[in-house]
Amino acid sequence: MRSLYCCCSLEPTTLLPTPAVAARMKLKCLPEDFQVEELSEFEIQGGNYAVYKLTKTSLGTPEAIEAILRRWKIKREHISYGGLKDRHAITQQYVTISRGPRRDLNQQNFTLVYQGQTKQHFGPTDISGNRFHIVIRDLPRNVAQKYVNLRESLLVDRLPNYFDDQRFGSLGASREFIAQPWCAGNYERALWLALAEPNPHDRPDDREEKRILRDNWGNWVDCKAKLAQSSRRSIVTYLCDHPTNFKNAFALIRVDLRGLFLSAYQSYLWNHILAELIRSKVWHERVYEVGLSAQQVAFCTSLTMEEQDELSRVKLPLPSARIDLEGSALEAHYENVLRELGIELRELRVKYPRDSFFSKGERPALIVPHNLQMAMASDEQYAGRYKVTCDFELPRGSYATIVLKRLTLDPTAVSERTHEGAGSSVALAEEE
């Protein structure tokens, strides 16, 4: 999934409880302004898997992995890693290769440094968390100071553990999740959304291929003739011989991409479940709405001790037909929220192909950024302005951009900003 911005003034997507004009601010002006270090207790103790530390700059994880595969002529199934790291950043993460070379690899935008050998491949569950270093730039002095002053409230109140915008990169112009028709057995609609629907993150080549598919959908021979060699053309080639077998054609999409389609939909539903929980448990005057790219969610501030205690103990299962909530306190809550969205838990399953399924697990409702340090200083990039530096750690699967949204969109931080007069509220996005 591609980042939605590099260095830019951020666009309004939020609804604040009081009239306010947020200060102009900038993120990711320099690669070093957004740094991510993967944390793990993965043991390097000898074995058939070579372990590497991948450090990359202004490059997505999939592109770095592809470059490694090409350079060392390795089969894709032999390489593994824990997760996707942001493109517009400096990031560090672990990679394992079955019987991989015991040497380093240096490329223009990344280095792969050999660490030793281990007995098993590295995967998502081997990540304990991530350490972040983030710089917010182009701030007036009073706003920078307010951000720094919010440090204690972030630690006391904690913050909702939402999936953020980067989780929803597959969501196209129709705002329909690909997994919706897929689960319903409408494979043609799912295939059209995956192959032909316009997406704001499309590259020029993708936009043209999608236009050809939309203009020639169903006329597969003409469609194939107009498409350049690509994964889309391979699927169209299959449809030339099997013009209505959309079920098998959809299965030709790479399994990792199909997994992203399921994750996006499941994360969207989980966010709704958490947002409604917060609205039901916290007094409405201390709840404010924030717009994500896929939905509007509830944030809260100044929690009472009782609210903190109750919400901090909640772990919400990822919604799917595989979970059993019968008799639990959450059963009615899940049923009510999903009913409002027009779906039931039993419908959240994949009938075909059998290599794809919704994730199973649970996720804490609230999290706290560990080792949170914040400081303000003069901004060397913008004369007369200030920057705020944030350093913190989050558990696996939690999003640094949610911390930034909680910080920069807190109504107590913006209520006195109207005299600044520049810019607007904040929209954040990064690669997962």
Residues marked active site are found at 86
- 8 Å CB contact between 6 and 286: no
Here the tokens at position 391 are 């350093």
Here the tokens at position 287 are 């709840």
Here the tokens at position 202 are 């499309």
Radius of gyration of the chain from Cα atoms? Answer: 23
- Per DSSP, the residues of 84-110 read ---SSSEEEEEEEEET--SS-EE-SSE
**Measured between alpha carbons, how far is 362 from 389 in angstroms, rounded to an integer?**
31
Residue 396, Cβ neighbours under 10 Å: how many?
Answer: 16
Distances (CA, A) of 204 to 64, 199, 207, 211, 413: 21, 11, 5, 11, 40
Which is it for strands 49-57 and 159-160: parallel, antiparallel or unpaired? unpaired
Distances (CA, A) of 91 to 60, 151, 173, 372: 9, 24, 30, 19
**Which residue's structure tokens are 């966010």?**
271
Q: Sign of dihedral through CA atoms 90, 267, 151, 298?
A: positive
Task: Please enumerate in sequence order all residues whose Cβ is within 8 A of that of 319, keeping only pairs 6 or more positions apart, or say none.
Answer: 266, 269, 270, 273, 334, 338, 345, 348, 358
**Measured between alpha carbons, how far is 221 from 240 in angstroms, rounded to an integer?**
6
**Measured between alpha carbons, how far is 290 from 429 in angstroms, rounded to an integer?**
14
Is 49 in a helix, a strand, or coil?
Answer: strand
**Measured between alpha carbons, how far is 368 from 225 in angstroms, rounded to an integer?**
54
